[in-house]
Structure 1
C-alpha cells in the first residue's frame, strides 16, 4: 500500500469524490494538539482554522458546529440555530462510534452519518478555511463554498462574545 493511500481519510476521499477544490496539510504529532497550536504550526490565522464540535440536542438529535479554534461555542446560540431547547457536547468517548472520528481528528466531512452542520458566520470572511481532515495531523484547506458543496453547512453566529 502506498504512503499516500495510507494518509487518505474518509474526509479526503469525499472531497476528492466531489471534485472539490481543496488542499491537505499534514504534520506529525504524537497526540492531539489544540486548534490554536495547529494553526500556529501550520502558520495560519487561528480565525480561519475551524474546530469541529459534535453535540446532542434535547430531542436526542445530533448536530455539528464548526467554530474558529480560539473561540468557544455559545450553547444557547447553537441550540437556537438547531431549533432545539438546549444543546450539550457529545462526550469524547462516544465520538468514534457516532462519527467514525476521534477527538482531535473529527472532520465535518466523511462522518458515518450526515448530521445538520453549522459554521460560524466568520467563515464567510476568508477566501479559504481550514478544518480537520479526519485524523490527528491532517487538515483540509478549502473555500467555504467548496465545503458547502460536500456537506450542507449553514453560516450562523455561534461563538461566545
Structure 2
C-alpha cells in the first residue's frame, strides 16, 4: 500500500479507516467509475471539489460522485454571494493535488470544508486518499471532526 499524506495524517490522528484501490481509467476519471470499481454505491463515494468565493478565496465541497455541486448553495453555505469552481490549472498549486486525486484531508493549506449533508446518512463514506487509484473509507463523523468540515445541502436537486 502506498502511504499517501492522507493516510499518514489519518494514522497519526488515530482515525480508523481502510483503503480501497481501483483501476485508473484516463478516459474516465469520473467518480461514478471509481464507485463502480470499488463496488460501492455512488451515494457513499464523495468527490472533493475546490471552489472560490470573492471574500473567502478557495474553499472545499465534498459531494456524492454522481451529483453536481449547486454553486448557489455552496456560496450560501460559505457565506458568499457567489462561488465558482477553481480553474483546473490552479488545483495543483493551490491544494497539492491533481484532478481525480483531490482529498479533503492533507491539502497544502487548511481551507474551509463543507461536506454534503447526505454523508451523515451512512456509517462510512469514501474520499480520495490523495492519489488517483486509491480511496480511504471512514466514518463521516471522523472526517468532519478531523477536517473541521461543516455539513450543508450542496447539490443540485
| TM-score, normalised via structure 2 length | 0.96
Which of 14, 19, 33 is the aligned partner of 2:14? Answer: 19
Aligned residue runs from structure 1 range 35-50, under 5 A: 35-50=31-46
In angstroms, what is the RMSD of aligned CA positions?
A: 1.1
Return 5+ residue gaps in structure 1 as ranges: none
Q: Distance in 2 between matches of 1:150 and 1:26?
A: 22
Which of 19, 28, 38 is the aligned partner of 2:23? Answer: 28
Which of 111, 114, 117 is the aligned partner of 2:110? Answer: 114
Q: Distance in 2 between matches of 1:28 and 1:39?
A: 11
Number of residue-to-residue matches in the alignment: 156
Q: Distance in 1 between matches of 2:121 and 2:145?
A: 18
**4+ long deviations beyond 4 Å:** none
**Residues 16-59 of structure 1, C-alpha deviations (whole Å, 9 max, x = no match):** 11010100111232536210010001000000100000011022
Partner of 2:73: 77
Which of 3, 19, 24 is the aligned partner of 1:8? Answer: 3
Q: Distance in 2 between matches of 1:109 and 1:27?
A: 19
| TM-score, normalised via structure 1 length | 0.93
Partner of 2:91: 95
| Superposition deviation, residue 81 in structure 1 | 0.3
Partner of 1:146: 142
Cα 1:21–1:130 change in 2 (3 A) is same
Q: Distance in 2 between matches of 1:20 and 1:80?
A: 30
Return 5+ residue gaps in structure 2 as ranges: none
| Superposition deviation, residue 14 in structure 1 | 0.7
Assess if the C-alpha contact under 8 Å between 1:14 and 1:150 holds in 2: no
Which of 65, 69, 73 is the aligned partner of 2:61? Answer: 65
**Residues 91-118 of structure 1, C-alpha deviations (whole Å, 9 max, x = no match):** 1111111000000000000000010000
- Find out whether 1:51 has 2:26 as its counterpart: no
- Find out whether 1:133 has 2:120 as its counterpart: no
